[in-house]
Amino acid sequence: MGNAVLQSIHVHPVKAFRSKSLQEAEVEPWGLAGDRRWVLIDDGGKVVTQREQPRLALAAAETLSGGGLRLTADGREPLTVPVPEPVSTTTVEIFGDKVEAVLADTAAHDWCSAYVGAEVRLVHMDDPAARRPIDPDFALPGETVSFADGYPLLVTTLGSLDALNSLIAQGGLADEGPLPMSRFRPNVVVSGTEAWAEDDWSRISIGEVTFRVTKMCGRCVVTTTDQDTALRGKEPLRSLARHRRLGGKLMFGQNLVPENRGSLRVGDPVTVLAQPTRSHSAGAPAAGNPGAGRER
């Protein structure tokens, strides 16, 4: 894998909103700087994602100096949202976790509610170092994550996307492909590897940062959502169910936990530092729900 490089970098200032591509980014212990520090919740405190609201794919958020946001979407006037003062918190439910977060101002709630057509509130994770531990089965003491589904970063490879698109073309739904990488909402995309090479990584370096590769990423219905139109189809879940099913989940990409702070830049070399003692490739079929998994 001597020619593997960092092809692209992506952050999502508000979880489930449109991704933003960067040429470089800072790696913090809980993820890329500015990635998924904000999220929408319903009136019961449960996180709202593209699962429930596909139109969130068409809304954009830009991180401003100081950590605030500028929200934009078709049909809505742009809105600047300041970082709320952490004078009090509200409880957020995200995939079974209970996390404390700070409510944004009323104007932000009104803007987002009008856009999705339902009552939602925008919240901010004020202290990612303390708010949400990573699953202890895959983490060291004190490791935390932002509002990403479960882990600080997600890595995907162009080699695997090419292989998946070939499977889609062979499976009779060629009109749905080829799919772009945006369907999988990764943080970092690697080029120069063979298909599914990431299945056999357990520790990697990208530029000056090293990462522990914790587990493969189970995918959900959000991957069937066109990130440019918010329309849904059957792929890639149909093909993943046939070829990439493991433990009842459909796999694409690997979750990462950073081992140090540092900067990532497009073009940085990617090096495999360790491989598992036994492959955990998802090539073998297994029983399970084709829609199981989480989106990013």
Q: Where in the chain is the domain with CATH 2.40.33?
A: 5-16+21-28+135-274
Angle at alpha carbon of residue 161, lines to 156 and 162, rounded to 5°: 145
Nearest to 190 by CA among 250, 263, 269: 269
pTM: 0.93
**What is the third-level CATH fold of 5-16+21-28+135-274?**
M1 Pyruvate Kinase; Domain 3 (2.40.33)
Residue type at 239?
A: S
Can you tell me the distance from the alpha carbon of 239 to that of 169, in angstroms, rounded to the nearest whole number? Answer: 9
- Looking at residue 283, its pLDDT comes to 44
Can you tell me the distance from the alpha carbon of 16 to that of 55, in angstroms, rounded to the nearest whole number? Answer: 9
pLDDT tens digits for the chain (296 residues)? 669 999 999 999 999 999 999 999 999 999 999 999 999 999 999 999 999 999 999 999 999 999 999 999 999 999 999 999 999 999 999 999 999 999 999 999 999 999 999 999 999 999 999 999 999 999 999 999 999 999 999 999 999 999 999 999 998 666 888 999 999 999 999 999 999 999 999 999 999 999 999 999 999 999 999 999 999 999 999 999 999 999 999 999 999 999 999 999 999 999 999 998 754 444 433 333 333 445 45
Q: Report the DSSP pairing between strands 69-73 and 76-81.
A: antiparallel
- Looking at residue 147, its pLDDT comes to 98
Rg (CA), the chain: 18
- Looking at residue 294, its pLDDT comes to 52
